[in-house]
């Protein structure tokens, strides 16, 4: 199977329930062709290649024009494609259900919500375990004015450290997994953490949790 996605990160992650089905039921692996925009997410290829359902990860030079409703346009022909079948995943309308389900229904694809992602490092250093972690509130967020309370105002005063986006996804996922507490405002990393089954607290935000967070279904 070949699937494409243009971004953003939190919109892409729910799509993993589709390759999850085809690997578990047909032993079919997936090639991900992602917009070059995804190169900015440190360790994404490493994380995807760790999953049983991944064949390969390819970054295409295609970039969307607009991120106001997901990434638009999201339908494009990747450079490496000749006559292979591929599926352009993206927001075809305003999301009113879990995004992975929405993507699957556009092409009548199968999906499996019972997903277990590989990320746990059993040898994760002791000095990184048991921390209290949080994600930053970025002032450039498009929806920042829709928050009743700014994230920074809800953060406990002492003892919490920020995740470092310059560290790899696997490092930050293990920081969260082994933490004593992780607090997120809605962002791509929180969506991935949710799909990984990590315990976390999500602050109030402008998103519908059932669209992005499988544990809210």
Q: What is the pLDDT of residues 10-50, one digit of tens each?
A: 999 999 999 999 999 999 999 999 999 899 999 999 999 99
Taking each helix axis from N to C end, the angle separating 99-107 and 17-26, rounded to the nearest 10 degrees, works out to 60
Instruction: Return the C-alpha torsion angle 189, 197, 181, 123, nearest 10.
Output: -90
Where do the structural domains in the chain lie, given as residue ranges? 2-107, 126-216
Tokens 């992005």: give the residue. 212
Position 158 scores a pLDDT of: 75
pLDDT at 187: 86
CA 81 – CA 151 distance, rounded (Å): 43
Q: pLDDT for 78-97, tens place per residue?
A: 999 999 999 999 988 888 89
Q: Residue 213 has what pLDDT?
A: 93
Residues of the chain with pLDDT under 50: 217
Give the helix, strand, coil percentages of the chain, each rounded to 5: 35, 15, 50
CA angle 158, 170, 203 (to 5 degrees): 40
């Amino acid at each position: 199977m070949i699937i494409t996605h243009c971004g953003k990160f939190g919109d892409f992650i729910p799509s993993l329930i589709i390759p999850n089905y085809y690997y578990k039921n047909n032993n079919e692996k997936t090639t991900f062709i992602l917009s070059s925009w995804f190169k900015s997410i440190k360790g994404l290829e490493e994380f995807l290649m760790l999953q049983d359902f991944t064949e390969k990860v390819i970054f295409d030079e295609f970039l969307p024009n607009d991120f106001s409703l997901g990434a638009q346009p999201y339908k494009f022909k990747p450079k490496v494609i000749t006559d292979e079948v591929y599926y352009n995943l993206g927001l075809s309308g305003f999301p009113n259900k879990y995004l992975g389900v929405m993507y699957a229904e556009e092409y009548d694809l199968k999906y499996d919500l019972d997903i277990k992602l590989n990320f746990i490092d059993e040898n994760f250093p002791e000095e990184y375990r048991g921390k209290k972690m949080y994600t930053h509130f970025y002032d450039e967020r498009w929806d920042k004015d829709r928050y009743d309370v700014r994230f920074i105002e809800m953060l406990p005063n002492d003892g919490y450290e920020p995740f470092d986006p310059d560290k790899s996804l696997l490092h930050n996922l293990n920081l969260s997994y082994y933490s004593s507490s992780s607090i997120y405002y809605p962002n791509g990393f929180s969506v991935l953490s949710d799909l990984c089954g990590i315990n976390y607290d999500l602050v109030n935000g402008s998103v519908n949790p059932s669209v992005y967070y499988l544990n809210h279904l």
